[in-house]
Structure 1
Amino acid sequence: MLKKLISLFIVLMLLFFVISCKDEVLPKPASQLRLDYPVAKYAHFNNHCPFEFEMNEDAVIKEDKDCGFSIHYPKMKATIYLTYKTVDNNLTGLLKDAQKLTYEHVIKADDILEQPYLNYNKKVYGMFYRVNGNAATNAQFYATDSLKHFVTGSVYFYAKPKFDSIMPAADYVKNDMQRLMETINWTQGR
């Protein structure tokens, strides 16, 4: 009888060790998408329009009407839209329109940061807006010489705005747009 109990005990112990040595099943943690973008390389862009600028070489530019441009970022599903207006005793109205366009996003935005830009040598004066939160655009700007030229720019993504998920792409394009604004040079009517 003792032999049977010892044998049963050994069998149960072996069975216990075999069963307990299985890998424990644990749920996998949610993965995070890692978005790495190449270091931006900039190229000079000019044509018949009265201004020129630098833009990312990886972007694709398309001229729209009246010296407006669409600068597409296919990998990021984003576009920077540039519009050009001639200043003709309407600078105050152009400034109000540019500011109104930015502050229409205040409903969805967490905050809007204004960064003035002044380049007296090139006669380029403007404002760069960083829009934080789930707004349709995360950056806008205007630039002018106060006498003849007025350019506005805004970036839009072709995705429902979820600030956290598009932040790496948004920061990349925002930096490109700021570089574009800071390299504007008037080519006519200086």
Structure 2
Amino acid sequence: MNIIKKVFAAVALFAVSATFVSCGEDAVPKPKAFLRLDYPVEDYVLYTGKCPFTFAFNSQAIISNKGNCNFTLQYPRMKATIYLTYKPVEGNLEMLLRDAQKLTYEHVIKADAIQELPFVNDMQNVYGMFYQVGGDAATNAQFYATDSTRHFLTGSMYFYARPNYDSLMPAASYIKDDMRNLMETLKWR
């Protein structure tokens, strides 16, 4: 009988402790969360060096002249760089256009889509194409701009990270806006 009392006492103790441990608030699933990345408001400054063009760029970028009017605009906080390459047009406009388009379409292997956005600014004599590259391509945006007779400028954005479009999208969107602004403010001399 002593064993029955011990078993009964153990079962009763377990039941009472289980009641106290299990009592509490109902489990509520947590809402989905998204990474929030805040970037500073754009503050554009004008590049007016010795090159045959001027443009406005984001003051958050570090500009470096690599010689022959080729530039890098580095965004250290986003681990990204815009590469600007200038070439004079010397009867080779068709080749320059073909090379710029070829550079963009080399990313078609990894890209989900490439959207072409024509750019025309008759007042400043600037004509070109802005490419938005979707998917896990090495670059998310490229452009070229020309006056069709003397000047040709290309720009490409690259990140120093594995190209994962979902993760890079906020930074890529921010820099794409800067690239569009660069095209819109471009003036030939």
Same fold (TM > 0.5)? yes
What is the alpha-carbon distance in structure 2 between the residues aligned to residue 63 and residue 37 of structure 1? Answer: 25
What is the alpha-carbon distance in structure 2 between the residues aligned to residue 114 and residue 165 of structure 1? Answer: 23
Please provide the CA RMSD for this pair: 2.8
What is the alpha-carbon distance in structure 2 between the residues aligned to residue 29 and residue 118 of structure 1? Answer: 45
> Is the alpha carbon distance of 1:129 and 1:21 closer, same or farther for their aligned partners in structure 2, counting shifts above 3 Å?
same
Instruction: Name the % identity.
Output: 57
- CA positional deviation for 1:45: 1.1
- CA positional deviation for 1:31: 6.1
State the partner residue of 2:66: 64
Q: 1:97 aligns with which of 89, 96, 99?
A: 99
Q: Any stretches of 5+ residues in structure 2 without a counterpart?
A: none
More displaced stretch, 23-32 vs 57-66 = 23-32
State the partner residue of 1:41: 43
> Is the alpha carbon distance of 1:153 and 1:12 closer, same or farther for their aligned partners in structure 2, counting shifts above 3 Å?
closer
State whether structure 2 residue 143 is matched by structure 1 residue 158. Answer: no
Question: Superposed, which structure 2 residues align to 1:37-186 within 5 Å?
Answer: 37-186=39-188
What secondary structure is seen at the aligned counterpart in 1 of 2:77?
coil
- Relative to the length of structure 1, the TM-score reads 0.87
Which amino acid is the alignment partner of residue 147 of structure 1?
Answer: T
Q: 2:22 aligns with which of 16, 20, 24?
A: 20
Which amino acid is the alignment partner of residue 116 of structure 1?
Answer: P
What is the alpha-carbon distance in structure 2 between the residues aligned to residue 130 and residue 121 of structure 1? Answer: 25
What is the alpha-carbon distance in structure 1 between the residues aligned to residue 166 and residue 13 of structure 2? Answer: 56
What is the alpha-carbon distance in structure 2 between the residues aligned to residue 11 and residue 102 of structure 1? Answer: 73
What is the alpha-carbon distance in structure 1 between the residues aligned to residue 25 and residue 147 of structure 2? Answer: 69
What secondary structure is seen at the aligned counterpart in 2 of 1:66?
coil
What is the alpha-carbon distance in structure 2 between the residues aligned to residue 172 and residue 83 of structure 1? Answer: 21
- CA positional deviation for 1:41: 1.2
- Relative to the length of structure 2, the TM-score reads 0.88
Q: Deviations over 1:58-112 (max 9, x none)?
A: 1100000210000000000000000000000000000000000000000000010
What is the alpha-carbon distance in structure 1 between the residues aligned to residue 14 and residue 83 of structure 2? Answer: 74
What secondary structure is seen at the aligned counterpart in 1 of 2:16?
helix
What is the alpha-carbon distance in structure 1 between the residues aligned to residue 176 and residue 168 of structure 2? Answer: 12
Which amino acid is the alignment partner of residue 70 of structure 1?
Answer: T
How many residue pairs were aligned?
184
Which amino acid is the alignment partner of residue 141 of structure 1?
Answer: F
What secondary structure is seen at the aligned counterpart in 2 of 1:117?
strand
What secondary structure is seen at the aligned counterpart in 2 of 1:75?
helix
What is the alpha-carbon distance in structure 1 between the residues aligned to residue 48 and residue 163 of structure 2? Answer: 32
- CA positional deviation for 1:23: 7.4
